[in-house]
DNA sequence: TTCGTCATGTAATGGGTTACATGATTAC
DNA sequence: GTAATCATGTAACCCATTACATGACGAA
């Protein structure tokens, strides 16, 4: 999830870790920032897999030591990113991952775009079905539990409508990015 | 988080693991079920801390082996649950935990109820401030990233309004549960 | 007798967090 | 010179997941 988000940002242009972190929050959907304890190990593992090139920007004239490390996508990394996004499978519909796939929808053919949006919508509708089934949650309805359930239902229904709007927009427009 | 949810359900009445799992989903807010790989180890750790009594319901007459294990709250467990809920601190405002605290709001004095609801609202408003600050997310606005951001903002604003309604309801009514 | 679902658990793993440790650069 | 913020990283841990393994009970 984090790897995909990082690849997506580096696909745009090379960056160093600190900047990456700042740009990551909108991509992750929620407004939380990722911690360095996740970020740097993740960058290292991407480098080990050959998808990212690490540029330690040797001591600039007059500087004793490197300060910044620039990370850059390799051709293999770029290739992997496109694939991962275009061939997105079931886990692209899940909560954490969906936001990341969504953020990069503009870099993928409309067909894949529709597949991701519709997959997510299907996933949410499954949940709604389960949540509406009274057999699923036995026991009495405490006011607060019931209220929580109601709010969760409404939020999900709202997301479904949002997706429907986007899907319809994709279908009429010709390759509207 | 999971421990609190379990304690809350057991506070109502003793249950065995399988039933607990089913009743857990609405409490956790999202519609996902917890896995047994989380549930049973968590129950064991609660037992080790002396909050839960494990009743292996010895071989019923005619049965070779136990099938069900019943878990029951000890007095210490009950005590701990009330405290944890009533004295709920900052992490009760966070995403995962809030739903659990919310579900059990009926078991706590109105004062604590208001503190939890208002704490959550404050937390969300902080996020909104950060998200609205253009300095926070530099770089150009890709259509999809912008759309994602917009939707996240709207959802959060909606939750704030929801909380405000509940808070106001708590303030006018006298101990409305 | 076989199938579905009830029921309990372990082992390995995953994907993140916090807390810590360090140092450079910039603005006042 | 000193404070803020830019910048990079490690170690320990947390809390969940999946995959696996086992077995009882009831209904067709």
pLDDT tens-digit profile of A52-92?
999 987 554 444 456 789 999 999 999 999 999 999 988 89
- Rounded to the nearest angstrom, the minimum Cα separation between A129 and chain B is 10
CB contact under 8 A, A103 and B145: yes
* A136 contacts chain B (CB < 8 A): yes
- Please give the structure tokens belonging to residue B144: 């999809």
Could you tell me where the beta strands, DSSP code E, fall in chain A? Answer: 15-16, 52-55, 70-73
Distance in Å, residue A83 CA to nucleotide D22 C1': 40
Q: Say which nucleotide is closest to residue A94, CA to C1' distance.
A: D17
> Any idea of the CA torsion for B112, B159, B145, B141, to the nearest 10 degrees?
-90
pLDDT of residue B131: 86
CA distance linking residue B136 with residue A32, whole number of Å: 11
- Please give the structure tokens belonging to residue B161: 């309004």
CB-CB neighbors (< 8 A) of B138 in chain A: 22-23
Q: Are B92 and A133 in contact (CB under 8 A)?
A: no
pLDDT of residue A104: 96
Q: Which of A173, A91, A7, A130 is nearest to B143 (CA)?
A: A173
Q: What is the mean pLDDT of residues A12-41?
A: 92
Q: What is the mean pLDDT of residues A34-62?
A: 86
Q: Is the CB of B153 under 7 A from strand D?
A: no
- The answer for residues whose C-beta is within 8 angstroms of residue B106's C-beta and 6 or more apart is A142, A143, A144, B177
CA distance linking residue B170 with residue B120, whole number of Å: 15
CB contact under 8 A, A148 and B31: no
CA distance linking residue A105 with residue A83, whole number of Å: 13
pLDDT of residue B174: 59
Q: Say which nucleotide is closest to residue A38, CA to C1' distance.
A: C16
* B37 contacts chain A (CB < 8 A): no
Strand order in the sheet with A70-73: A15-16, A70-73, A52-55
Of B99, B145, B155, which is closest to A148 when you measure between CB atoms? B99
pLDDT of residue A124: 93
Which residue ranges of chain B lie beneath pLDDT 50? 60-64
CB contact under 8 A, A148 and B104: no
Note the Cα B12 to chain centre separation in Å. 15
pLDDT of residue B134: 72
pLDDT greater than 90 at residue A137: no
CA distance linking residue B160 with residue B131, whole number of Å: 15
Total residue count of chain A as it appears in this document: 177
pLDDT of residue B43: 96
Residue B55 burial class via C-beta count within 10 angstroms: exposed 0-12, middle 13-18, buried 19 and up: middle
Could you tell me where the beta strands, DSSP code E, fall in A15-99? Answer: 15-16, 52-55, 70-73
DSSP annotation of A104: T
**High-pLDDT (> 90) share of chain A, %:** 71
CB contact under 8 A, A144 and B105: yes
- Please give the structure tokens belonging to residue B157: 């604003």
CA distance linking residue A100 with residue A116, whole number of Å: 11
CB-CB neighbors (< 8 A) of A155 in chain B: 155, 158-159
Distance in Å, residue B36 CA to nucleotide D22 C1': 14
Q: How many CA atoms lie within 13 A of B160 on its CB side?
A: 15
* A110 contacts chain B (CB < 8 A): no
Distance in Å, residue B172 CA to nucleotide D14 C1': 41
pLDDT of residue A135: 72
**DSSP letters spanning A118-133:** HHHHHHHHHHHHHHH-
CA distance linking residue A169 with residue A172, whole number of Å: 6
CA distance linking residue A19 with residue A162, whole number of Å: 31
pTM score: 0.90
Q: Are B65 and B47 in contact (CB under 8 A)?
A: no
* A33 contacts chain B (CB < 8 A): no
The chain-wide mean pLDDT, for chain A, equals 89
Count of CB atoms within 10 A of residue B24's CB? Answer: 21
CA angle A31, A37, A43 (to 5 degrees): 95
Chain B: residue nearest A106 by CA? B144
Q: Which of A98, A106, A55, A99 is nearest to A82 (CA)?
A: A106
> Which residues in window 64-103 of B are less than 7 A from strand D by Cβ?
64-65, 67, 96
Question: Does an H or E element contain B55, and which?
Answer: strand B52-55
Q: What is the mean pLDDT of residues A119-144?
A: 84
- The answer for residues whose C-beta is within 8 angstroms of residue A148's C-beta and 6 or more apart is B26, B27, B29, B99, B102, B103
């Amino acid at each position: 999830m984090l790897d995909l988000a990082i690849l997506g940002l580096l696909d745009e242009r090379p960056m160093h870790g600190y900047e990456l972190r700042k740009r990551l929050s909108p991509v992750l959907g929620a407004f939380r920032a990722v911690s360095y304890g996740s970020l740097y190990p993740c960058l290292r593992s991407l480098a080990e897999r050959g998808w990212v090139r690490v540029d330690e920007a040797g001591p600039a004239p007059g500087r004793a030591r490197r300060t910044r490390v620039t990370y850059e996508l390799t051709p293999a990394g770029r290739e992997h990113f496109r694939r991962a996004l275009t061939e997105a499978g079931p886990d692209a519909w899940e909560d954490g991952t969906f936001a990341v796939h969504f953020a990069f929808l503009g870099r993928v053919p409309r067909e894949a775009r529709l597949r991701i949006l519709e997959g997510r919508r299907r996933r949410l509708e499954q949940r709604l079905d389960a949540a509406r089934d009274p057999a699923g949650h036995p026991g009495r309805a405490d006011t607060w539990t019931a209220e929580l359930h109601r709010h969760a239902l409404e939020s999900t229904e709202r997301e479904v409508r949002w997706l429907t709007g986007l899907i319809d927009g994709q279908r009429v427009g010709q390759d509207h990015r």
